[in-house]
Amino acid sequence: MTIYRTRAGLRHQFRDVLNFYYPDCIDTAVGGYVAQLDERDGHVYDARTKHLVATARGVHNFSLGVLADGPDWCRYAAEHGLRFLSNEHWDDDREGYDWLLEGRQTRDRTRHCYGHAFVLLAGARATQAGIPGGRAELERAFDVLEERFWEPDHELYADQATPDWELSAYRGQNANMHACEALLAAYEATGDERYLERSYTIADRFTREVTAATDGLLWEHYTAEWEPDLSYNEDSPRHQFRPPGYQPGHHAEWAKLLAVLADHRSEEWLLERARDLFDAAVELGWDDEHGGLYYTVDADGEPIVADKYGWVHTEAIGASALLSRHDESYGSWYDRLWEYSLEHLRNPRYGNWYERLTREHERDGPNHGPAVEPGYHPLTNCWLAMRALEAEPTAFE
């Protein structure tokens, strides 16, 4: 049996990612994390920038390490990051989380729902792991999301606001998807039904109602009235955060979230829609010539940006692992995705994952920037695959 079909093999993959970041990511001078490690050899290329999402993801990652019986230092690393998140990213005067810091000095106070969702996720996983302060951070982040971003008329979250909480007109899929993920984690951490209800509402509203306007596919960008903005950034196909087109990776990620929701809710549509979205991800996104999933495509599956991103494939791995518990055919995709990823996307020397390759699997640059994802996607989905194996000992066989 291949290593990724065993708990031991998945644990090895999981620990490799943690080991890539620790201890170099621990900022003992300023606090928090140094998240900007070069994906090729691990050298620090930016020791000062503190990005809200990177900080929250670090807390999440090391909390998962505690939950997965990882190295003893995971608890210390999670506690270290949570203190910085609580004390330095939080703006007490305006009651929100600052987006970008230079050391401890704020550089950008823009309020992003996406960032607040990751704080909620960090608080949830810290709570599960028994990290002091985790529950308080969970509740504070949820309160801000509800008071500042939630729009009852649309039953979805707004996307962005000024430092003083003036909402922008843009509405986005991505922030709501990660809010749904964080709310599910909050429910698993606390058993509080309000988190489960909110996550279910978002999933139902977005994946069944909003997507009806685009034939069931997940568009990324919307007006303030939640109408698809089909021309958004059409002149910027390589926009880092808001590219035009359909993203196969987000179809797989929503499939994963619906499969997790189905563990807690009995509605049949959850697994049906999860299968639909995963099937759409691979039907639209799989590159038959070079292998792997495209980054963005049009409605016919023609690639807009044909690059291969590490996070896309880890999300598809997590989704296929969960779906294979209900339909063994998804185990074939699980195998295929792992085989492709181990050949191309995982750093063979260190075990971390590359951010982006070209369609033909070339590396076109160092992928440096402040907005990094320090192992969050591979760790999350290795952990979910381990959970799938624990829930169903015969899964993938």
Q: What is the Cα 124 distance to its own chain's centre?
A: 14
Q: What does each C-alpha distance from 65 to 19, 353, 379 come to in angstroms?
A: 11, 17, 9
Query: What phi and psi values does residue 41 have, to the nearest 5 degrees?
Result: -135, 0
Q: 80, 112, 313, 377: which one is catalytic?
A: 377
The two tokens of residue 183 are: 């709310």
Active site residue 112: no
Residues in a beta bridge with 97: 90
The two tokens of residue 70 are: 């990882």
Active site residue 326: no
Q: 250, 251, 313, 368: which one is catalytic?
A: 250
Cα(236)–Cα(384) distance, integer angstroms? 34
Cα(305)–Cα(300) distance, integer angstroms? 14
The two tokens of residue 230 are: 């089909």
Q: What does each C-alpha distance from 296 to 129, 140, 379 come to in angstroms?
A: 36, 35, 23
The two tokens of residue 167 are: 């909402």
Cα(27)–Cα(42) distance, integer angstroms? 15
Q: What is the Cα 390 distance to its own chain's centre?
A: 22
Cα(139)–Cα(384) distance, integer angstroms? 24
Determine contact, residues 33/76, Cβ cutoff 8 Å: no
| Residues known to be catalytic | 250, 377
